[in-house]
Amino acid sequence: MYNIRASTNSEISLIPNFIVLLFTGLILVVDFLPHKGMTTINPQFLYLSLLNLVFGIYVCFNLKLISKDLVPILKKSYIFRSYLVFLFISLLSIIVAGNTSLFFTKITQLLIVFCLFINLCILLKDKIDLLYKIIIIISIGAFFQSWQVFNEFMQTYKASIDSALIRMTGNAGNVNILAASLTIKIPFLLLGITHFTNYKKLLLLITLLLVTTVIFLTGARTALLSTILIFLIYIFSYLKINSFSKAYLLKVSILILPLLISIFISTNMFKKTTNSRYVSIDNKLQQINTEDASSQARLRYWGNAIKLSKQNPFLGVGLGNYLIESIPYEATTENDSIVSLNTHNDFLEITAETGIVNGFVFLSLFVFVFFVNAKKIIYSTDPDVRTVAMLTLMLVVVYGMDSLFNFPLYRPTMQIFLSLLLSLTVINKLVLDDFKLLKNHKIKLYPILLLVTIITTYSAYLINKASTLEDLIKKDDINHQTKGALTGDEVISRLPLYPNVFNTSEAYYEYAGIYYLREKNYEKAYVCFSKASKINPYTGRINYYKHLISKEKNNVDSAYVYIKEAFYLRPRDLFYYQHSTSLAAVKKDTTEILKEYKLFSKYRKIAETWSIPATELQKAKYNEKSLNSFIDHGLKEMPNDSTLKKLKSNLLVKKYTLDGQVLLSQSKFNESLESFKEALKIDPKDAYLLQSIGLNYYYSKNYIQALTYFLDAVKYPGLNNGLAEYYIGICYLKNNDQKNACKYFNLSKAKNFGGAQQQLIKECK
């Protein structure tokens, strides 16, 4: 099973072996291109398209080197046919695409991968004898990829284990993508370890140890499950095909050693962190249930994709358009500004974007691959065919698992292996019963593929150019900063043809508008925001910034309209909730505050749900009895919330103070003092209350006590009319202290208190 023989087919490919190995090695460079965050994928796709272009030119000048059997094989392949149908329907979805810019972006990436698939078929046809050399190349790439990540982790984990774990993204830009890109290389390592001996075997074992350790440290559950699954598949099939004898059991047991060491290392590392993502392997497996937060999020995304599919069953919402069209469905399920960006399930995303039929076509592509390779493993008598089929089957298991729970469809690090597993399935010793009549078939259509490659390369260049602008804007952090390196005019002059939105779904015009807003060029800002709202009107951000413009222009009514629009677009957004209720308080619109509270509280039960509207209701002079009831309700839900407690205290202090003042006006000094003292128990630093107690003692002719409370009152902020200072002066006069009396009369006069000037004339000559 595990010794690949050189092909003896008379119609073999004449492409030199070094070209095959060089192209394979160059493809893997994708994992080492500079990391640019979420925009990493754009230079990676451009790089792959350039590789396709270079190889395409080489092929066009050397058509005679291509195996003459390849075109007939492709024509008879259900996989190739399904792939073409999938691409065709995806192309048709432009008819319904609301954002054609996103369509062109995604179709470019799909066509790049298709061209790579065809080129790999050309390269690998009759070159299966190079498989173990390819395994060495892939293993070297896996070694350096995992070593780079592990080395960075070891350099930082002593300072902060949590930070070191979170930053384990490598050049992938995401822990899940990194884990998947390493997991899909494990089948090559397993095959190589059981084939090679001596130093090559040792190199592959060390690489397997590094790869599995990094995978486990990422805490990515899909990758963890896939790793365990392919280990089990490979070990069982290896023993099944060979023997369950002691010799083979010993030979295969060496595969388990790196896995056990990886589990030991990761488990000990996880003991040093409190992050719930990073737990031991057994606990991680126990966490896999629908109650888990990440599982709940995936279920919500899947549900939204299904809703989109039901409403657009024929051609979906347009390839790539899930990025925007899913946002309204998430308004009542996702907090604040969170948007899914993808469904975490490629099959459902394709169904939502290109229709139910195409969703089944896309799924059938993997079903065909699985069963074709399973059939070859079970029924083929050729050990070479079974070896390649086993490798391909493991690859499709890893890729399929990732497609079910993540988003490998537009990730180059995974797409190179999709192209590889599809090409290996197609060219793996297909029986050529009916191909004799096609022996002299010419590769006439390849120049058309080269033309497609030229187009995709230019398109990928435009997309990458757009990502460069996106990176510059992100560096400016213009959402929070008042000025950036760029200007609004510069952003407009560099607007890309496509895509017209960031990877995070905001329109480029939206950011141009923010730059103009910071520059106080409100006319241009408003024009940009209006254009942006036609591209993505669903996040509420545009409405928020329009509200800021209106506030800057002192147009409170318009500002109020815009901020309410933002809130109702995203009724779980705490930021919009706070700003909208705040402006409602300015407008004394207590009905709107209560309306927004009712809606927000329907989705989120956090302290701010009650504390924000309670604060704004108080500012809007809401009925005190009703406000008190509202706060009491909030305290039942959130008994430890400090804001609500303070509001409750303020209301009680205000009530006792007002009651005391009424009693004081009736000369009921003792009852008045009791009421004031009750308030004082709640807030001993309330300046207005201390002043009221001072007045109580003053009118009851207890000037020494009155002076004490007046002096306490002026220590705290809130008294600005000079009354307390005036009575301090009077109390000092009553105690024959003219010097201090004059001092406080002057302080009272400085605050424009009317009686102070008379006392200064009378007592302080």
| Rounded mean pLDDT, 42-50 | 96
Where are the CATH 1.25.40.10 domain residues in the chain? 474-618, 649-763
Whether 429 shows a pLDDT value over 50: the answer reads yes
Residue 68 per-residue DSSP state: T
* Residue 170 near residue 149 (C-beta atoms within 8 A): yes
71-75, 91-95, 122-126, 564-568: segment of lowest average pLDDT: 71-75
Whether 214 shows a pLDDT value over 80: the answer reads yes
Three-state SS at 501: strand
Q: pTM for the whole thing?
A: 0.86
In this predicted model, what pLDDT tens digit does every residue of 710-755 receive, in sequence order? 999 999 988 888 899 999 988 998 888 888 989 998 998 888 888 8
Three-state SS at 78: helix
Angle at 602 between CA 601 and CA 605, to 5 degrees: 45
Give the C-alpha separation, 390 to 191, whole Å: 9
* Residue 373 near residue 425 (C-beta atoms within 8 A): yes
Which residue, among 551, 553, 629, 610, has the nearest Cα to 586 in the 3D structure? Answer: 551
| Alpha helix ranges (H) inside 553-606 | 556-569, 574-586, 590-603
Pair of tokens at residue 641: 């919330």
Residue 632's identity, in one-letter code, is: D
In this predicted model, what pLDDT tens digit does every residue of 543-569 receive, in sequence order? 999 999 999 999 999 999 999 999 999
How many residues are present in the chain?
765
Whether 286 shows a pLDDT value over 70: the answer reads no
311-325, 394-408, 629-643: segment of lowest average pLDDT: 629-643
Number of H helices, E strands in the chain: 37, 0
Give the C-alpha separation, 32 to 16, whole Å: 26
Pair of tokens at residue 377: 């493993």
Q: Report the pLDDT value the prediction gives residue 284, as an integer from 0 to 100.
A: 57
Give the C-alpha separation, 568 to 579, whole Å: 12
Pairwise pLDDT comparison (346 vs 152), residue with the higher score: 346
Phi/psi for 219 (5° steps) reads: 75, 15
Pair of tokens at residue 166: 């979170």
Q: What does the mean pLDDT of the chain come to? A: 89
Whether 276 shows a pLDDT value over 80: the answer reads no
Q: Report the pLDDT value the prediction gives residue 290, as an integer from 0 to 100.
A: 54
Pair of tokens at residue 453: 């490659």
| Rounded mean pLDDT, 460-488 | 94
Q: Report the pLDDT value the prediction gives residue 188, as an integer from 0 to 100.
A: 97
CATH number of 649-763: 1.25.40.10
Give the C-alpha separation, 388 to 366, whole Å: 16
Whether 435 shows a pLDDT value over 70: the answer reads no
* Residue 378 near residue 166 (C-beta atoms within 8 A): no
Q: Report the pLDDT value the prediction gives residue 57, as an integer from 0 to 100.
A: 94
Q: Report the pLDDT value the prediction gives residue 755, as an integer from 0 to 100.
A: 83
β-pair partners for 501: 507
| Rounded mean pLDDT, 184-190 | 96
Which residue, among 296, 187, 173, 277, has the nearest Cα to 238 in the 3D structure? Answer: 187
SS (H, E, C) 313-327: CCCCCCCCCHHHHCH
Pairwise pLDDT comparison (623 vs 273), residue with the higher score: 623
Q: Report the pLDDT value the prediction gives residue 9, as an integer from 0 to 100.
A: 46
Phi/psi for 501 (5° steps) reads: -135, 160
Give the C-alpha separation, 140 to 148, whole Å: 12
In this predicted model, what pLDDT tens digit does every residue of 322-379 receive, in sequence order? 999 999 999 999 999 999 999 999 999 999 999 999 999 999 999 999 999 999 988 8
What distance lies between CA 586 and its chain's CA centroid? 35
Give the C-alpha separation, 116 to 419, whole Å: 6
Which residue, among 296, 390, 278, has the nearest Cα to 334 in the 3D structure? Answer: 296
Q: Max Cα separation, the chain?
A: 127
* Residue 520 near residue 542 (C-beta atoms within 8 A): no
Residue 411 per-residue DSSP state: -
165-179, 672-686, 702-716: segment of lowest average pLDDT: 165-179
In this predicted model, what pLDDT tens digit does every residue of 141-151 receive, in sequence order? 999 999 999 99
User: Between the CA of residue 131 and those of 27, 138, 424, 697, what are the distances in Å?
Assistant: 15, 10, 10, 99
Give the C-alpha separation, 281 to 290, whole Å: 18
Report the half-sphere exposure of 330 (CA within 13 A, side-chain side).
27
Other Cβ atoms less than 10 A from the Cβ of 235: the count is 17
Whether 293 shows a pLDDT value over 80: the answer reads no
Pair of tokens at residue 557: 């009514």
Phi/psi for 507 (5° steps) reads: -75, 145
CATH number of 474-618: 1.25.40.10
In this predicted model, what pLDDT tens digit does every residue of 492-549 receive, in sequence order? 999 999 999 999 999 999 999 999 999 999 999 999 999 999 999 999 999 999 999 9
Which residue, among 254, 242, 4, has the nearest Cα to 134 in the 3D structure? Answer: 4
In this predicted model, what pLDDT tens digit does every residue of 609-657 receive, in sequence order? 999 999 899 889 899 889 989 999 989 988 988 888 888 888 888 888 8
Q: What is the residue-wise DSSP string for 414-475?
A: HHHHHHHHHHHHHHS----TT-GGGTT----SHHHHHHHHHHHHHHHHHHHHHHHHHHHHHH
